[in-house]
Amino acid sequence: MFNEIMPLADVSENTKVQIVSFSGGYNFVRRLQEMGLVPGQIAKIIRNSKIGPVEVSVMGSNLAIGRGIASKILVKVVYE
């Protein structure tokens, strides 16, 4: 099993990932975490057209995350 770490923005639709870390300033990270994107959390990519925002299901609801932000969230794919 190969658990490569990559930006959320690059993960394809219908994939489950685990949040690993963030690259960004304090406020930025803080805001993401308060929306439920804490390290270790499992999220499912609902929609990722690779040009627009990414839609992920996390903590029981769906979040729209702009591409810029999504490329600063590092995740690893969870294989089931």
Partner 1 sequence: MNKKEFTVALAGNANVGKSVIFNQLTGGNQIIGNWPGKTVEKAEGFLEQEGIKLHIVDLPGIYSLSTYSEEEIVSREFIAKEHPDLVVNVVDASNLERNLFFTLQLIELEVPLVIALNQYDILENKGLHINEDKLSKLLDAPVVKTIAVQNKGLKDLFKVIKETLLSEEKKVPHIKYGKEVESRIEILVEKLKNKKIKLSYPYRFAAIKLLENDPLIKKEVNDPEILSTVKKLQEELKEIHGEDAETVIISERYAIASRIAESVITRRYMVKASIGDWFDKIALDKFWGYVFFILITIGIFYTVFKFGSYFSDLLSNWLEAFKPTFMQIPLSPFWDKILWDGVMEGVIAGIGIVLPYIAPFYLLLAFLEDSGYLARIAFLTDNLMHKMGLHGKAFMPLIEGFGCNVPAVLGTRIMERDRDRFLAAILVTLVPCSARTVIILGLVAAFLGPIYAFLIYVLDFILIVIVGRILNKFMKGTPSGLIMEMPRYRKPVMRIILKQTWIRLKEFVYIAFPIIIIANVVIELFALLNWLNPVANFLKPVVTNFIGLPPLAGVTLIFGALRKELTLVMLAGIYHTTNFASIMTPRQIFVYGFVTMIYIPCVATMAALKREFGWKRTTLIVVGELAGAIILGGLFNQILKLFMP
User: Where along the sequence are the contacts to partner 1 (CB under 8 A)?
Assistant: 26-36, 38-41, 47, 49, 51-53, 55, 59-69
> Is-contact 8 20, C-beta < 8 A?
no
Measured from the CB atom, the residue of 12 and 27 that comes closer to partner 1 is 27
- Shortest Å distance, C-beta 80 to partner 1: 18
> Is-contact 47 54, C-beta < 8 A?
yes
Measured from the CB atom, the residue of 6 and 33 that comes closer to partner 1 is 33
Report how far Cα 68 is from the mean position of its chain's Cα atoms: 12
Measured from the CB atom, the residue of 2 and 68 that comes closer to partner 1 is 68
